[in-house]
Structure 1
Amino acid sequence: MTGQLAPERLQTIVIGGGQAGLAVGYYLACQGLSFAILDANERVGDAWRTRWDSLRLFTPAQFDALPGMPVPAPNHAFITKDEMADYLEAYAEHFALPVRTGMRVDRLSRDEGGFVVTAGDRTFHAEQVVVAMSNYQQPRVPEFARDLAQDIVQLHAIDYRNPGQLRDGGVLVVGAGNSGAEIAIEVARGHPTWLSGRSTGQLPFRIDGRAARLGVLRFVLRVLFHRVLTVQSPAGRRFRAKLAGHGGPLIRLKAEDLTNAGVVRVPRVSGVQDGRPRLEDGRVLDVANVIWCTGFHPGFSWIDLPVLQDGNPVHHRGIVPNEPGLYFVGLEFLSAASSVMIHGVSRDAARIADAIAVGARRVSVPAEEPALATA
């Protein structure tokens, strides 16, 4: 027998089972609430597993943990993307979080009974919904990319895995943020490599000693990014505008690492000439490969509610004013510069879970999911 399965009612649905969704789940479980986490991937952590092969997190392990469970690595270590994926999977198992994998949400809407979440042949009804996803969903590539010669290999960072995907010859990496810098250094080992884009600055500052560097990072990430650069402060709003313009600063790498690797810095790409990328200074680069590290579009078109402006959710620190019961966690600068980082998502998740608990007390829904497991 085929067709839609019987609808299921839950107190709260969390859409997205990455670090943001798991952090929300942890705090909802602490509140004793009924909820389910819907994730499109087949395994918890797959969003990390599918990134490029050599990727390491840009922040040391001490900043990469979710609430209640440390990352099993030295504080100063930069863990691999697979180690992060395995940590997230172990986290969900340790706390018995009700993650339902293989469930890609197609539509979020509302009827007279509350929110309606459609995922394939499944329909869920809920009083509260948390969209626990970042703005980084659909690859963004400039329109003129289509004018590049067909013999040029083009990859977005989300599709790049390793240099084996590239043709012999030069590589232009477009976008000088953390991903672009990391990929440029890797491909420069076997290809002439150019890195295009404005400098984003760098952290940590040049300081001798591992402890001193960690101390600076601790101040920057947990004080400056977490408490000073917020949506409520003038400095935070200025930083947010700068971040939207050309990305955040380098964290694990430094500008001199690019130079030492043989990566040549060039201005921004302004267009295409004779099938080849043209720079703002008029130079045309004869390259065989272009890797676009140019960010993402939000990709929230599946939300069938009047809560989007220019594709982005309209919210106040994750709470949607004109749709009571709808929340966001994991967005860039949700409440502060740290909101999109692993170490910063927990604060937002805790605050949203508190708001959900207040709303849930108004409606009684039988508990259907296991409570938080203990260590």
Structure 2
Amino acid sequence: MLVTETDVVIIGAGPAGLAVGALLRQAGISFVIIEKNDSVGSSWKGHYDRLRLHTSKKYSHLPGLPFPESYPDFVPKQDFADYLDIYATRYGIEPIFGEEVIRVAKEQNNNVFIVETDNGNLWVSKSVIICTGFNRKPVMPKPDGYDIFKGPQIHSSDYENGNVFSDQNVMVVGMGNTGAEIAMDLSDHGAKTFVSVRNPINVVPLEFRGRPTQHTNIILNKYLPSFITDMIGNIIKNCHYHDMTKYGLNIDKKSPGKMLRKEGKTPVIDQGTMDYIRQGKIEVKPELTKVREHWAWFCDESMIDIDAIIFATGFKSAVEEFVEGGEELLNPYGNPYSAIPGGQWSGMYFLGFNAYKSGILYSIQKESPKIVNHLKEYLRQF
């Protein structure tokens, strides 16, 4: 067993961990970053090939290093992965790889944190910054008949591209941003593509009047009250997607912004999926109720032959699994309720869990300096 003391332990070497690490380096505060995988940004690098950022590069870069001018406005996965490697090198960030944190506990008497990994190593620190993010643990449902279905059943986190599904009947379960994009990818690779959608969805265009919808949202929210921005959001949505019911897709009547604020649900940022549905390249089905060897049934009692199922059913942050007493830190959506919880949790911070306004990367850009400034003051007591 190795026991190490440091000022700060950062858990996770994704965008959030790198951002706060860079700012701590500039502030002269000692830290270690512990990462369970073998590279920085490993979860991003493991996403499907087609992925690109759904948010503008202006609002998606990390502190201190804008994206190169040569990058497109919506940065592709590989370019973003390269950017994260460059960022780590620029700020001299060298995480400890291959160590998964299994326990974080605060010793109130000593006012320090104990961080333990699966390799049995311990870190004793004055502060902990948890950057494991929304996507730590895939949510994988098991519908009736899951164990007798003959084809592949994978979570979207294991999907790479549609090459292996060419000429097959493939069903995507779930239509968030990931499900919508994977459905397009499958269709482009020659699969007969179905998407099972249980509830009404909210959707916004990727761009509005030639500029990213995210940019328009940020500007409107800066100057207008939420009820007016909600009204504008619904007008835009209804103009673009008023006809989707006839294709079997129900659009939620609530504005995208209100749903995000009140229910923690990110709208689908449409990169072309709606046109694929209109063109018949993707067929919408209602809630999946059961599967058998080569078939799938839905709540409207319809049935289709199916060769493979991809569950785009999301993730959960599950920080309570390794933070002792972490249940008290969660909001109704199961994520940390604050970047700086304070109280008995003073010295603990959360970064990369706030997508309730304008996206995760934008929140990292804005919240990381606030955390570091607060941490500077917190460390003065030692």
TM-score of the pair, normalised by structure 1: 0.82
> Per the alignment, do residues 228 and 193 of structure 1 end up closer, same or farther by CA in structure 2, a change over 3 Å counting?
farther
Q: Do the aligned residues in 2 keep the contact of 1:194 with 1:264 (CA within 8 Å)?
A: yes
Residues 89, 151 of structure 1: alpha-carbon distance in 2 compared, 3 angstrom cutoff: same
- For residues 35 and 219 of structure 2, the distance between their equivalents in structure 1, rounded to whole angstroms, comes to 29
State the alpha-carbon separation in 1 of the partners of residues 40 and 223 from structure 2. Answer: 27
Q: 1:316 to 1:204 in 2, by over 3 A?
A: same
Q: What residue in structure 2 maps to residue 220 of structure 1?
A: 217
Take 2:322 and 2:258, find their aligned partners in 1: how far apart are those partners?
27
Higher relative contact order (CA 8 A, sep 6+): 1
- Tell me how far apart the structure 1 counterparts of residues 222 and 303 of structure 2 sit (CA, whole Å): 38
Residue 115 of structure 1, CA deviation: 0.5
From 88, 93, 98, give the equivalent of 1:97.
93
Asked whether the equivalents of residues 56 and 215 of structure 2 are also in contact (C-alpha less than 8 Å), the reply is no
Q: Say if 1:243 and 1:273 are closer, same or farther in 2 by CA, change over 3 A.
A: farther
* Greater Cα shift, 264-273 or 61-70: 264-273
Quick one: distance in 2 between partners of 1:69 and 1:25? 13
- Secondary structure (helix, strand or coil) at the match of 2:211 reads helix
Q: Matched residue of 1:59: which SS?
A: coil
1:39 paired residue among 31, 35, 52: 35
CA distance in 1, matches of 2:173, 2:53: 20
Moved more, 161-170 or 63-72: 161-170
SS in 2 for 1:285: strand
- Secondary structure of the equivalent of 2:281? coil
Determine helix, strand or coil for the equivalent of 2:261. Answer: helix
Look up the equivalent residue of 2:194 and give its one-letter code. W
Aligned to 1:9: 5
Q: Aligned partners of 1:242, 1:84: CA distance in 2, in Å? A: 29
1:201 to 192, 203, 220: 203
State, as a whole percentage, how many aligned pairs show the same letter: 24
What residue identity is the alignment partner of 1:240?
R
1:134 aligns with 2:130: no
Task: Identify the range of structure 1 (27-36 vs 177-186) with the bigger mean alpha-carbon deviation.
Answer: 27-36
- The residue that corresponds to 2:168 in the other structure is 169
Whether the 8 Å contact between 1:10 and 1:34 is mirrored in structure 2 is yes
2:241 alignment counterpart = none
Instruction: Give the structure 2 partner of residue 29 of structure 1.
Output: 25
The answer to whether the aligner puts 1:269 opposite 2:288 as a matched pair is: yes
Q: Shift of the alpha carbon at 1:89?
A: 1.1
Paired residue for 1:327?
A: 349
Deviation at 1:50, TM superposition (A): 1.3
1:240 aligns with 2:242: no
- RMSD of aligned residue pairs (Cα, Å): 2.9
Where do residues 9-88 of structure 1 align in structure 2 (5 Å cutoff)?
Answer: 9-74=5-70, 76-88=72-84
Equivalent pair of 1:59/1:252 in contact (CA under 8 Å): no
Helix, strand or coil at the partner of 1:85: helix
- Letter of the 1:351 partner, please give it: K
Q: Quote the offset at 1:33 in angstroms.
A: 1.4
Q: C-alpha offsets along residues 84-122 of structure 1, whole Å, 9 cap, x if unaligned?
A: 111111101101234322222122123343111112242
| Residues 145 and 290 in structure 2, CA contact (< 8 A), matched pair in contact too | no
5+ residue gaps in structure 1?
364-375
Question: Are the structure 2 counterparts of residues 127 and 239 from structure 1 closer, same or farther at C-alpha, using a change threshold of 3 Å?
Answer: same
Deviates more, 1:37-46 or 1:127-136: 37-46
**Residue by residue, what CA displacement relative to the aligned partner does 1:28-62 show, whole Å, maximum 9, x if unpaired?**
22332111221122111222221112222222333
In structure 1, give the amino acid aligned to 2:195. L
Kept after mapping to 1: 8 A contact 2:338/2:350? no
User: Greater helix percent: which structure?
Assistant: 2
Q: How far does residue 9 in structure 1 lie from its aligned partner after superposition?
A: 0.7
Distance (whole Å) between structure 2 residues aligned to residue 56 and residue 182 of structure 1: 10
**Which runs of structure 2 are paired with 1:205-354 in the superposition (5 Å)?**
207=209, 212-214=210-212, 216-221=213-218, 224=221, 238-244=259-265, 247-253=266-272, 255-260=274-279, 262-272=281-291, 276-309=295-328, 312=334, 314-333=336-355, 336-338=356-358, 340-354=359-373
**CA apart distance, 1:287:** 0.8
Aligned to 1:125: 124
- Partner Cα separation in structure 2 for residue 313 and residue 273 of structure 1: 35
TM-score by length of 2: 0.80
Per the alignment, in what secondary structure is the counterpart of residue 55 of structure 1? coil
Q: Deviations over 1:261-313 (max 9, x none)?
A: 71112223234467633222221221111111010122324424212157935
- Equivalents in 2 of 1:324, 1:47: separation in Å? 28
Distance 1:106 1:43, change over 3 A: same
Q: In 1, Cα distance between the equivalents of 2:224 and 2:342?
A: 22
Specify the SS of the correspondent of 1:65: coil
Aligned-pair CA distance for 1:332:
3.7
Query: How many angstroms does 1:17 deviate by?
Result: 0.9
Structure 2: state its 5+ residue gaps. Answer: 231-254
